[in-house]
A and B are shown apart, each in its own frame.
Chain A
Amino acid sequence: MPRPFDADWIDEIRVNLSAVERRTATLPARRSVKKDAQAAWLLKAVSCIDLTTLNGDDTEGRVRRLCAKARQPIREDLLQALGMGDHKITTGAICVYHRFVAAAVDALKGSGIPVAAVSTGFPAGLVPHDVKLREIEASVKDGAQEIDIVVTREYVLTGNWKALYDEMRDFRQACGDAHVKAILATGDIKTMKNIAKASMVCMMAGADFIKTSTGKESSNATLPVSLVMLRMIRDYYERTGYKIGFKPAGGISAAKDVLNYQILMKEELGRPWLEPSLFRVGASSLLADIERQLEHHITGRYSAYNRHPVG
């Protein structure tokens, strides 16, 4: 829900990098999730994965295979052994380029799994503004329920917050009923202050989620960057009562890593932000590691990749 641009909200933002780093360096050591709790948390993480393929060699076949994995991310017998056979565990979404939206929607029919489309000239976002809007509209028309947009980094790097706001507001409008996730490309905009301010501007302009990275920048999601964005989400919630979601993307490939993100969500924002409605993880190889960890939890033996079906 967009609200009017308010420069004060941007100007008063302060972020101390050392303090941010201290928090994220100690947090994983302050919380430990073991045994049944860990299995549950990892299953929850699966339900928050935006299972993603964003490569130049993607094809419809590849996307349909991924969709099949999204429907059945964990082997049936493992779910039974965990006492979770009656839970319908799927990934949070499938995330693809516009070209494959229609195929994905078709492949996921009846599953309730939404299709997310990266958009607005992903990943650099330097195509003309009207082309960006048309791309969004096309994906929505093909059935995408979620649109992952990229912001114009130049606006952030030059402190042109009003331009960023206007751009985001247009994207929001073009999305219609689809959810919109704003990718800040934190690896490009670099400083914590930029990240915090861009987060606030995008939320103000109507983003439903804020997302760290495209996965194509030199650095991906990190805990410090995420902490700064989460604190902006909290601020926005305190100011407006609206809960905005968070999506770290890129570089999260180990089960241990995703647990740290979940702990961060729970500690900084609270329980509601552990559900797929407010938390997504953009990942491609994370799922395989979670599958192995879950099997280890059940059998007590370390597992191997070949025991779990690929996407």
Chain B
Amino acid sequence: MSVAHYFETMDYGTAPEADSEARGWLAKHNHRFGHFIDGRFVTSTSKATFETREPASGKSLAAIAKGTKADITKAVAAAKSAQPKWAKLGGAARARHLYALARMVQRHARLFAVLETLDNGKPIRETRDIDIPLVARHFYHHAGWAQVMDREFPDHDPIGVAGQIIPWNFPLLMLAWKVAPALAFGNTVVVKPAEFTPLTALLFAELAHEAGLPKGVLNIVTGDGDTGAALVDAPVDKIAFTGSTEVGRIIRAKTAGSGKKLTLELGGKSPFIVFDDADLDGAVEGVIDAIYFNQGQVCCAGSRLLVQEGIANRFVDKLKTRMAHLRVGDPLDKSIDIGAIIDPVQRSRIDALVKKGVSEGASLFQPDCKLPKSGCFYPPTLLTNVAPASTVAIEEIFGPVLVSMTFRTPEEAVALANNTRYGLAASVWSETLSLALDIAPKLKSGVVWVNATNLFDASVGFGGYRESGFGREGGREGAFAYLKPKSHTNRKLRKALVPLREATSVTAPNDAVAIDRTAKLFIGGKQVRPDGNYSRIVLSAKGKRIGEVGEGNRKDIRNAVAAARAAEAWSKATTHNRAQILYYLAENLSTRANEFAARIAASSGVTPSMAKREVQSSIERLFTYGAYADKFEGAVHQPPLRGVALAMKESIGVVGVICPDEAPLLSLISLAAPLIAMGNRIVLVPSERSPLIATDFYQVIETSDVAAGVINIVTGSSLTLAKTLAEHDDVDAIWAFGDRKLSTLVESSSIGNLKRTFVDEGYATDWFTPKTAEGPDWLDHAVEIKNIWIPYGE
């Protein structure tokens, strides 16, 4: 090619980034890596290895140790022994270490970027300008959290050892998202990088220790799914996973009842909504960043384009024109937009899904762009004429494939956007502020970008609703993923209550003088008979029959969930309104304090004064959450852009609540009140032992202006009803307090829709001590945090 040639064609030519430093580093290690455990590289116990390849060429980059259970054991032991000292160092000292890591990343930024591009196949433009700068930013930000941890989180401790499983799409960035907060808050970690992309994690570990990070604080064990499974099973205190929803489910099932804290950042099928008053050219550019960034291998990729019908043709034309300018090719070339797909396996999957989409009636558009002859590449793809029922509109494709649909009204846009099992991110484009800010809160997703897409920052939490996982990464909201309440440190297992046995000798016929009272279920604001029309006998603490309650079954749960789902207005009610209702409940409970005290005394056998205290504490608790209803507020983040990110605290939706047997009224109120204060609607299974307290309580509910369906009560067998609730796909979260068996059951049964769980693993809660039994730690479990990014400017 000559100057004259280029003068004629005005082509870009090639602009390859040099890769000699990165290849030099690989050569220095003889293209062979062990695990990084306790501050040094060690060979795997099994000597088994696998190869990590360069997606752009298919060539091998290095032999990687395949971690075994023994390797994991060793790494966890190293992390465990390092953790107390690391925590004891104090926030300020840890801040210096994290600061050193941030500086280290910046000093070696190009080496990291090139190595990441080699191993992953993503364009150097992205690793250089996005991945690596965000990695450094994450360590800077969390150095800050370490520094101020004692002041900002005075009631929290580190969790201990975190096992962290990293995906292949943003290898080093996802490592940073997990390692930085873990380390900042005094935890140590064992990281399992993705099989396809282990290299930058190993480089990071090597350089981190050169930068003075104490041994054992950061351990890397490479390997495949088996290695990850071994880490999940290992005696760690927390598992953080980013990856597919399918594997997330397996991890949820494996960790059920283990007491391991869990955060999952999973898949998505995120909507990209364009209204007819949007800056269409800006939105087209947004689409490009949404779906062709990182070859579309992005969990929050805006993969479902929803365009208002009137502008759909024009918008799609503009998009097609823009797509023709995309350049696919050697990811090390600085003028490349779309690099290589991670592996031929993924490429075939993408291609199969696209073919399926076409066979189901979609129109295929791929611009006439040159693909390299070798390596693993896929052209940017747009599927139009896609209906919500099409496979490609439902399944996460995880490739550069966009599907496009139209809508007529804002209401329909929201309905289509939320018509998915996922809930990770959404993008809304409109130049009308009132419209965009009306839509954003209505979308079921952890992140909403207004007139923008794929913005990330360490100060802003990231994470999903629904089957996109739970937990947040980044910012204050992400901190809690690596902290536990101090009150949890010395928790004791709940004492098993002596089983009640009916004292046959004291059985007496019902008092014929009193009018018979039939306790029913309370569903949709009405007292209803149980579907099966069976009752269960309720005994007093002394074994005396004191009444009967309905034996709730699956169908009662189904009905209760439907009633709770229908009571959506509660979630939209003003916080002032919700506070009023909580106060009113307290007021009406207090007028019947004596009756409830007598019931508690009879039911749980406590002294009359203890029973009285329980009622008074319950009234106090209602007041507490009445108070918090309009005070547990979100935050305004200030990420580095002209704009803000609003961290909104939203209700989760429909929440199942399984109450424990101790302090039957107070525990019920302690669980129900924070949930309804935050706008959730609940299906509550009261203490199996003392259900009459709950059936008395529905009369208080009825007199307190609580809207129908906000609180539903189903009596019966706790374990049976808990299982049905945990398995119910229209229940968004479940709180279960009782013995450990219950926790395990609830967590393992929750995997269908990956609902959030809040369980006590059989540990006792001191319900009478406000410091442990109420407050923000509880409210955090009652809300989802949605970050709405709003860039502005005229």
Interface residues of A (CB under 8 A from B): 14-23, 26, 29-41, 43-44, 82-84, 87, 191-193, 231, 234, 238, 262, 266-267, 271, 274
Query: Which one of B7, B286, B325, B335 lies within 8 Å of A19 (CB-CB)?
Result: B286
| Contact status B15-A33, CB under 8 Å | yes
Task: Say which one of B94-102, B273-281, B632-640, B716-724 lies at the interface with A.
Answer: B273-281
Q: 1/0 per position for B1-37, CB-CB distance to A under 8 A?
A: 1111111001111110000000000000000000000
CA distance A266 to B325 in the complex (A): 9
Name, among A16, A29, A36, A38, the residue most crowded by chain B CB atoms within 10 Å (CB to CB): A16
Q: How far is the CB of B288 from chain A (nearest CB, A)?
A: 9
CA distance A18 to B5 in the complex (A): 37
Query: Which one of B3, B325, B642 lies within 8 Å of A84 (CB-CB)?
Result: B3
| Contact status B279-A40, CB under 8 Å | no
By secondary structure, the B interface counts as: loop
Q: 1/0 per position for B776-794, CB-CB distance to A under 8 A?
A: 0000000000000001111
Q: In the complex where A40-B7, A193-B794 touch, is A14 in contact with B12 (Cβ < 8 A)?
A: no
Query: A residues within 8 A CB of B431?
Result: 14, 16
Name, among B125, B280, B281, the residue most crowded by chain A CB atoms within 10 Å (CB to CB): B281
Query: B residues within 8 A CB of A14?
Result: 277-280, 431
Query: Which one of B7, B429, B451 lies within 8 Å of A43 (CB-CB)?
Result: B7
Interface residues of B (CB under 8 A from A): 1-7, 10-15, 125, 128-129, 277-283, 285-286, 289, 317, 325, 334-335, 337, 429, 431, 451-452, 641-643, 791-794
| Contact status B13-A35, CB under 8 Å | yes
CA distance A84 to B8 in the complex (A): 11
Q: In the complex where A26-B129, A44-B10 touch, is A39 in contact with B335 (Cβ < 8 A)?
A: no
Query: A residues within 8 A CB of B792?
Result: 18
Q: Which residue of B lies closest to A37 (CB)?
A: B13
Query: B residues within 8 A CB of A21?
Result: 793
| Contact status B452-A43, CB under 8 Å | no
Q: How far is the CB of B737 from chain A (nearest CB, A)?
A: 46
Q: Which residue of A lies closest to B283 (CB)?
A: A19
| Contact status A33-B1, CB under 8 Å | no
Q: Which residue of A lies closest to B275 (CB)?
A: A14
Query: Which one of A31, A33, A36, A266 lies within 8 Å of B2 (CB-CB)?
Result: A36
| Contact status A33-B12, CB under 8 Å | yes
Query: B residues within 8 A CB of A82?
Result: 3
Q: Which residue of A lies closest to B317 (CB)?
A: A238
Q: In the complex where A14-B279, A19-B282 touch, is A44 in contact with B451 (Cβ < 8 A)?
A: no
| Contact status B277-A84, CB under 8 Å | no
CA distance A104 to B467 in the complex (A): 71
| Contact status A274-B794, CB under 8 Å | no
Query: Which one of B1, B15, B278, B793 lies within 8 Å of A17 (CB-CB)?
Result: B793
CA distance A29 to B793 in the complex (A): 23
CA distance A29 to B278 in the complex (A): 26
Query: Which one of A15, A18, A31, A39 lies within 8 Å of B12 (CB-CB)?
Result: A31
CA distance A21 to B455 in the complex (A): 14
CA distance A31 to B326 in the complex (A): 11
CA distance A267 to B285 in the complex (A): 12
| Contact status B4-A87, CB under 8 Å | yes
Query: A residues within 8 A CB of B4?
Result: 40, 83-84, 87
12 A-B residue pairs with Cβ-Cβ distance under 8 Å, sorted by A, are A18-B791, A20-B282, A21-B793, A29-B129, A30-B335, A33-B13, A36-B3, A37-B6, A38-B13, A40-B4, A262-B10, A274-B10
| Contact status A34-B10, CB under 8 Å | no
Name, among A40, A192, A266, the residue most crowded by chain B CB atoms within 10 Å (CB to CB): A40
Q: Which residue of B lies closest to A267 (CB)?
A: B325
Q: How far is the CB of B268 from chain A (nearest CB, A)?
A: 22
Query: Which one of A22, A31, A234 lies within 8 Å of B335 (CB-CB)?
Result: A31
Q: List 10 A-B pairs, minimum CB-CB distance, nearest first.
A: A19-B282, A37-B13, A40-B6, A18-B791, A32-B15, A32-B334, A17-B793, A16-B279, A40-B7, A14-B431
